[in-house]
Amino acid sequence: MNRLSAHDERLPLYQRLRDDLLQRIASGEWAPGAAIPTEAELTQAYGLATGTVRKAIDMLVAEGVLVRAQGKGTFVRRPDFGNSLFRFFRFRSRAGSDVRPSARVLSRALRVPPADVRQALGMGDEAMGIYLSRLRLIDDQPVLAEDIWLPRERFEPLVEIKLKDFPDLLYPLYETSCRQLVASARERLTVESAGKAIADRLSLAPGAPVIAVQRLAFDFAGTPVEWRCTRGAGDGFQYEVDIR
Amino acid sequence: MNRLSAHDERLPLYQRLRDDLLQRIASGEWAPGAAIPTEAELTQAYGLATGTVRKAIDMLVAEGVLVRAQGKGTFVRRPDFGNSLFRFFRFRSRAGSDVRPSARVLSRALRVPPADVRQALGMGDEAMGIYLSRLRLIDDQPVLAEDIWLPRERFEPLVEIKLKDFPDLLYPLYETSCRQLVASARERLTVESAGKAIADRLSLAPGAPVIAVQRLAFDFAGTPVEWRCTRGAGDGFQYEVDIR
DNA sequence: CAGTGGTCTAGACCACATG
DNA sequence: ATGTGGTCTAGACCACTGT
């Protein structure tokens, strides 16, 4: 006898357990960084064999939702925004180590987003969005220009924050102020020639190669929560992938 | 009692079995597309439990080395060079479907490769390489320029082939002529402005944005076998990734 | 039908982390 | 010493494929 919701009897038990655990994580029952019940407790609670429970957890580990720690437990993964969601642009200090640029919010607006953004975020035709224009700098030199759209409904608290009080990293702010967790993202990379507006913002020669990274960020449930487009000089840009 | 080579007693059995299977695949005992022994046969031959054998196979499936087919067997994966190793540049015909450009080998040379290529390929300071300069075209318009380096030792048969007889896809040729299998690759992407040489080869304006993809291809054993740099117009270039 | 991989069980024992 | 995840066993039964 098990206690899995019967949302689809045909699915394997480990699959249904995985879905159930993911739903409980998405619902906030276990916060990022917190431990989920032990394998023994889960086998008890759901009335399954250890191998089945392990397989469900294996899947969530492979998906990057959970992390195991031998002898300690299994934990909801806290995405590290320092690197994993910041892959495309890398900057190095003069010393050679990686550097994270600081950020400055230039402006904020409340508007209905353009059609492509509304569609990407699954927003209705008249739903309000929050727009942020941001600059990222190293040693006070602008290196990246960002356009960000958020659905107002989920991010209302951001309307009140003073522009100068926005931190360098937005995702932790989303988490603490709006209880919105970014769990994954999809990025699309293209090359442009700098138009006048971008050339001005990034102190580039007009026509210089520019990399544009368009990112759609999702929560644990797979709902898109943020649309973002980041532009930077193509110069010095580098990206690496492994293919199998 | 099992029959695993004792190359490291401390490793888990499934790990050692995985290594052993991979070694047998790399040695050519089972060609790409061929079936490996059934799970039952492997449990017998190695004297292991089914779960342990399954875990070893699971790993190789996750690594893209094997594919399972329920009711049929488990097979050595034949990489499809049509898409998986050809991710960065996408071209669309006027009709809208994806198009694979044709290829023309412009020149071939036998030389000691530059130091960075030698190092990437793990070649000695005086080891000979085969250099190929290739152009890829759509409707007879050049769209990509490729520089390719191969260790001569492994690819001797290519020295004899007439330039006009090189096929569009090199990896199947490597497999049939030189028995060199490409199993995975690492690509590094950067942006350049077109210099005169590249601008000429690709019919671009000098200074136009160019994407350079530097690829290092590996066989099943993880040995680098090919170094390649592909350049194309930044215009219309697009790349998409999912991040977790 | 026989043979394959896919799912699942009910444990035992080991390695690691912590008090 | 206790509790955690990690490894491994020796099966049973199911679902799919091809004869």
**Mean pLDDT of chain B, nearest integer:** 88
Is the C-beta atom of B203 closer than 7 angstroms to strand D? no
pLDDT score for B1: 46
Domain tally for chain A?
A: 2
pLDDT score for A27: 85
| Domain of residue A228, CATH code | 3.40.1410.10
Do B241 and A193 lie within an 8 Å CB cutoff?
no
Which of A207, A238, A244 has its CB closest to that of B190? A238
Closest-CA distance of chain A to residue B226, Å: 14
Do B213 and B136 sit in the same domain of this protein?
Answer: yes
Do B161 and B227 sit in the same domain of this protein?
Answer: yes
Average pLDDT over residues B50-69: 92
**Mean pLDDT of chain A, nearest integer:** 87
The string of pLDDT tens digits covering residues B131-143 is: 999 999 988 889 8
pLDDT score for B187: 83
Do A105 and A160 sit in the same domain of this protein?
Answer: yes
Do A84 and B243 lie within an 8 Å CB cutoff?
yes
% pLDDT > 70, chain A: 87
Query: Between chain A and chain B, how many beta carbons pairs sit less than 8 Å apart?
Result: 85
| Domain of residue B65, CATH code | 1.10.10.10
- Residue lying closest to nucleotide D8, CA to C1': B52
- Residue lying closest to nucleotide D9, CA to C1': B49
Place of tokens 């006027």: B94
Q: With a cut of 60, say whether residue B111 has pLDDT above it.
A: yes
The string of pLDDT tens digits covering residues B141-199 is: 898 999 999 999 999 999 999 999 999 989 989 988 998 888 888 888 889 889 999 99
Residue A17 domain flag: yes
Backbone angles phi, psi at A179, to 5 degrees: 50, 40
Do A128 and A64 sit in the same domain of this protein?
Answer: no
CB contacts of A192 in chain B (<8 Å) are 209, 234
Confidence of residue A1 (pLDDT cuts 50, 70, 90): very low
Task: Determine the structural domain holding residue B42 and report its residue range.
Answer: 13-76
- As a whole number of angstroms, the distance between CA A168 and CA A178 comes to 16
Average pLDDT over residues A74-86: 70
Residue A238 domain flag: no
Residue B160 domain flag: yes
Closest-CA distance of chain B to residue A171, Å: 14
Do B152 and B222 sit in the same domain of this protein?
Answer: yes
Do A98 and A161 sit in the same domain of this protein?
Answer: yes
- The residues, ordered by sequence, that sit 6+ positions from A33 with a Cβ below 8 Å of its Cβ are A75, A76, A78
Residue B7 domain flag: no
Residue B20 domain flag: yes
Do A120 and A194 sit in the same domain of this protein?
Answer: yes
Residue B192 domain flag: yes
